[in-house]
Amino acid sequence: MTGVKICGIQQTEHAKAAVDAGAEMIGFVFAESKRKVSLNQARDIAQHVPETVKKVGVFVNAPKQELLETARLVGLDYVQLHGDEEPDFCETLSIPYIKSLSVRHESDLQILDQYSSASYFLLDSANGPYRGGNGTTFDWSLIDQDTLDRERFILAGGLNEDNVTEAISTTNPAVVDVSSGVETDGVKDIEKIQRFIKQVKNNN
């Protein structure tokens, strides 16, 4: 079974659409991004998300206090660390975390073992102006399914309804993460959210 994370949620209606269509996770971006939300925005939207759907906050090199306070006020289940957070820093967190890695070369995957306490690790494209959400894929053949802990693996980067079936068959992730791939003109598109999730569920 492959789950779905709809990231970059900025409006309640889009969160509800993701939940209704069967998403297992939704993501709020607190780092610099065109999809950045305020703490109050995220908190208001989160009130419409059932406990069965996990809420993830995306951060880049945020201080520990900011991570914990945002998680508490919004009700986050995970913080997603998209920056240069060191393993020692991550070990001190009292909230479950997802460590994101940008993948250019096979060697980029070698540091995964250093984040053994991560609930998940997210593999994303290294291309684009932001640490994530750039709508570009990376070379999926770099992923060795024999050595990767599939149960903790989230695949991100340039996914959409047209390539997600190939992505799942090639990499076998626990979760696929999409943001720009379910948008039209930079705004979440409810029909694209529904079609993407349906496409994933048809592969399960």
Instruction: Please determine, for residue 187, whether its predicted confidence score (pLDDT) is greater than 60.
Output: yes
Instruction: Please determine, for residue 107, whether its predicted confidence score (pLDDT) is greater than 90.
Output: no
Instruction: Please determine, for residue 147, whether its predicted confidence score (pLDDT) is greater than 80.
Output: no
Domain limits, the chain: 3-202
pTM: 0.94
Share of the chain above pLDDT 70, in %: 95
Is the distance from CB of 177 to CB of 122 less than 8 angstroms? yes
**Helix, strand or coil, per DSSP, at residue 32:** coil
Cβ-proximal residues to 88 (8 Å cutoff; 6+ apart), any chain: none
Q: Which residues are catalytic?
A: 7, 124
Instruction: Please determine, for residue 179, whether its predicted confidence score (pLDDT) is greater than 60.
Output: yes
pLDDT one-digit tens code per residue, 3-16: 999 999 999 999 99
Regarding beta strands 187-188 and 183-184, do their DSSP bridges make them parallel or antiparallel, or are they unpaired? antiparallel
3-202 CATH = 3.20.20.70
C-alpha–C-alpha distance, residues 163 and 149, integer Å: 22
pLDDT one-digit tens code per residue, 64-102: 999 999 999 999 999 999 999 999 999 999 999 999 998
Structure-token match 């102006």, residue found = 129
pLDDT confidence of residue 126: 64
Tokens of 76: 């986050």
Is the distance from CB of 77 to CB of 53 less than 8 angstroms? no
